[in-house]
Structures are given as C-alpha cells and as structure tokens.
Amino acid sequence: MTALLEIRDLKAEIAGKQILNGYDLTVKAGEVHAIMGPNGSGKSTLSYVLSGRPGYKITEGQALLAGADLSQMSVDERAAAGLFLAFQYPLEVPGVATMTFLRAALNAQRKKRGEEEMSSPDLIKRVKELAKILDMDMEMLRRPVNVGFSGGEKKRAETLQMMLLEPKLCILDETDSGLDIDALKVVSNGVNQLRSKDRGIVVITHYQRLLDYITPDVVHVQSAGRIVRTGGKELALELEETGYARYQSEAA
C-alpha cells in the first residue's frame, strides 16, 4: 500500500542556503508521528517545503502525498489533496471575517475535488460544534482571521480550521506553544478526534507534555536538516532527560 506521506532523500534550500540534507520519512495512514529537534534544525522548513511556500526549493529527492509528487502541485492543489499545515506563527488576514475565510477555504477545496459546496447553514452548524469542542467563543469567529487574537487563540483557531477541513495529512508545527495548561488539553482533545485510520498526523513539538495527550506511534529526532533517530513514544521521554546534545554533535 502507498504510504500517505513518503519523503525520500529530500534536499531543500531557502535563499541559497541548504536546510534539509537528505530527509527520509514515511507516514502511513492511521499513524501519528512526532518530530522533535533543536531550534533551527529545519522542522518548520520541512513543513513549508511540503506545503509549497514560495522561496523554498527542492534540489534533490522527492516528497509524495498518497503517491502524488508534491513538487508538481501548486500550494492550493496540495491543500485540496489533503495537506494541512497548522502554522507555528499563524498569519493575520485583516478585514476578512473568520467565518467568511472558513467558508471560502472549505468550498474552494471541495470545488477542486469536484465535491458539492457546503451550504451556509450547514457550515455554521459545523463550526458551532467545533467551537464548542475547542471551547472557543463564536464571537471570535466573526472577527477578522487571527487579527488581535492572542497566541493561544490563534492556535485554537488553527485547530478549528484543521478540524473543519478534515485533511488527510495534518502537520502541526508547535501547535502547543502559547497554549496554557487547560487550552493544551482542549486542543489535544480536538486533535485526537481527528485520529482515524485514514488520516496521518505529524506533530512538531519541543515538549513531552503535548505527547502526554496526543500519544504518538513514532517519534523522530531531527537535527541539522534530517532525521537522526527514530523510536517509539518512550524516545520522547528519553529526550526530556538527555536533551539534544548528542544528536547535534552526531550530525555535525
């Protein structure tokens, strides 16, 4: 069976600087992978390369989503194909009500996939359910996308978008940063609801506490632009003890 995400010997650069140095990763449908690693090791870069952010260039290797070569797809095509990135630093879209944004995004994806658009009443109903799960005020969704949201509110909003869009592959880039203890539980609960046999989830995080709630099947250590070690959920606990020192020297 084709893996949901298959990255083979991927090399990528930004502004002429190589950041990913032969990256290998396979995520199968139904799995949750955690990627941990020191600051600047290229975790966000990986998420941007996969989602097609302008300026990030693949120089070698391949990344396939359900067998399809991502490098041949535009950013929005990748999204419609089911790739979702919860941003480490979500952007603000002034003047565009969150609800309008959600409707535009969902229906754009559906249209691209040849599916029927979701009606406004259905959409509002669905968003209300999700807001309840994530303990968000509907009033916030009438405000422009992320404008004036606190760090934690932005992360909740990202999670809500992800839950609404029901992507095949979710990449969460430090979704836990900025969340208070209660919010962490609420957001994790939301993410866990997305766990299914058809969906893959990649969580990028620095802390075990997120993995206490979202139990990963596989944990990777990334250093200097590639994965240097892979293990089970106990690997995260070990890292908590030892830190990254030995991996950094190994990579260098």
Partner 1 sequence: MAAVQETVEQVRRVGADQYKYGFVTDIESDLAPKGLSEEIVRFISAKKNEPEWMLEWRLEAYRRWLTMTEPKWARVDYPAIDYQDLYYYAAPKSKAGPKSLDEVDPELLRTYEKLGIPLHEREILAGVERPEGEERPRVAVDAVFDSVSVATTFKEELKKVGVIFCPISEALREHPELVRKYLGTVVPASDNYFATLNSAVFSDGSFVYIPPGVRCPMELSTYFRINEKNTGQFERTLIIADKGSYVSYLEGCTAPKRDENQLHAAVVELVTLDAAEIKYSTVQNWYPGDENGKGGIYNFVTKRGDCRGANSKISWTQVETGSAITWKYPSCVLRGDNSRGEFYSIAISNGRQQVDSGTKMIHLGKGTTSRIISKGISAGRSSNAYRGLVSAHRKAEGARNFTNCDSLLIGDACSAHTIPYIEAKNPSCVFEHEATTSKISEDVLFYCMQRGLSQEDATALVVNGFVRDVLQQLPMEFAVEAQKLISVSLEGSVG
Ligand X SMILES: Nc1ncnc2c1ncn2[C@@H]1O[C@H](COP(=O)(O)OP(=O)(O)OP(=O)(O)O)[C@@H](O)[C@H]1O
Q: Is residue 91 at the binding interface for partner 1, with CB under 8 A as the rule?
A: yes
Interface of this chain with Mg ion, residues 30 to 49, rule: CB under 5 A: 43-44
Near ligand X by CB under 6 A: residue from 12, 42, 187, 211: 42
Q: Is residue 90 at the binding interface for partner 1, with CB under 8 A as the rule?
A: yes
Tell the smallest beta-carbon distance from residue 210 to ligand X (Å): 14
Q: Is residue 161 at the binding interface for partner 1, with CB under 8 A as the rule?
A: yes
Near partner 1 by CB under 8 A: residue from 1, 15, 94, 181: 94
**3-class secondary structure for 163-185?**
HHHCCCEEEEECCCCCCCHHHHH
The total of other beta-carbon atoms located within 10 Å of residue 2's CB is 12
Q: Is residue 148 at the binding interface for ligand X, with CB under 6 A as the rule?
A: no
- Taking alpha carbons only, the member of 61, 68, 72, 84 closest to residue 227 is 61
Residue 65 CB-density burial (10 A; 0-12 exposed, 13-18 middle, 19+ buried): buried
72 binds, among Mg ion, partner 1, ligand X, none (CB under 5 to 8 A by kind): none
Under DSSP, the state recorded for 145 is: E
CA atoms within 13 A on the CB side of 25: 34
Residue 137 main-chain phi, psi, to 5 deg: -80, 130
Binding site for partner 1 (CB under 8 A): 51, 53-54, 74-76, 78-80, 84-85, 87, 90-96, 100-101, 104-106, 108-109, 112, 144, 161, 165
Binding site for ligand X (CB under 6 A): 14-15, 17, 19, 39-45, 88
